[in-house]
Homo-oligomer: A and B are copies of this chain.
């Protein structure tokens, strides 16, 4: 249903409206700063940049750098800026969310309770790991990007991640307890046929 037609173009234009970058840079920055809610592989980004060049949204400068392939550094054009601004003010498509874990839990009565527990535990671990990472961002971002005009907006998206992670941690803990009570209830306990 939602979210297609390579909105990733706008992620790239967004970065390019703050400076000139190579495809490699753009991939890395996207991963680091917006990876929680947006991403694109090299196999997607490089062809996209070529299309953007063809459509006059960006220009390239080739930087010879001795070894490895020369850096192709892209710069946004006025027409690229216009398109980007137009998109910024358009209504966003609804979020996209899919979870294999929840699908398994929904039909979980047919699964081995211990295995299920293990997967929820792993989800909790991952969320906890992310929480400490967010704590790190909250400390360093205001210093690193203090000069960028979009600092308050970055903090908004950071907040969104934090709320989501807190929620997942809460839920996972509650779910672990629930799974314990389920598997200890004798009438629901699985038996190998006797």
Q: List 25 A-B contacts (CB under 8 A).
A: A10-B103, A17-B107, A17-B110, A33-B106, A34-B103, A36-B102, A37-B97, A38-B103, A84-B110, A85-B110, A88-B108, A89-B116, A91-B119, A92-B99, A93-B100, A105-B157, A106-B153, A106-B154, A107-B150, A108-B153, A109-B153, A159-B175, A160-B171, A163-B167, A166-B167
Q: Is the CB–CB distance between A107 and B159 below 8 Å?
A: no
**Chain B residues near A107 (CB, 8 Å)?**
14, 17, 84, 88, 150, 153
For window 103-129 of A, CB contacts with B under 8 Å fall at 103-112, 115-116, 119, 122, 126
- Interface SS, A side: helix
Q: Mark A8-50, 1 if CB is under 8 A from B, else 0.
A: 0011001001000000000000000110111101000000000
Q: For the complex of A and B, list the 4 residue pairs with the smallest distance between their C-beta atoms, beginning with the closest.
A: A92-B100, A88-B111, A14-B107, A109-B150
Size of chain A's interface in residues, with CB distance under 8 A?
68
Give A contacts to B, CB under 8 Å: 1, 3, 7, 10-11, 14, 17, 33-34, 36-39, 41, 84-85, 87-89, 91-112, 115-116, 119, 122, 126, 149-150, 152-157, 159-160, 163-164, 166-168, 170-171, 174-175, 178, 182, 188
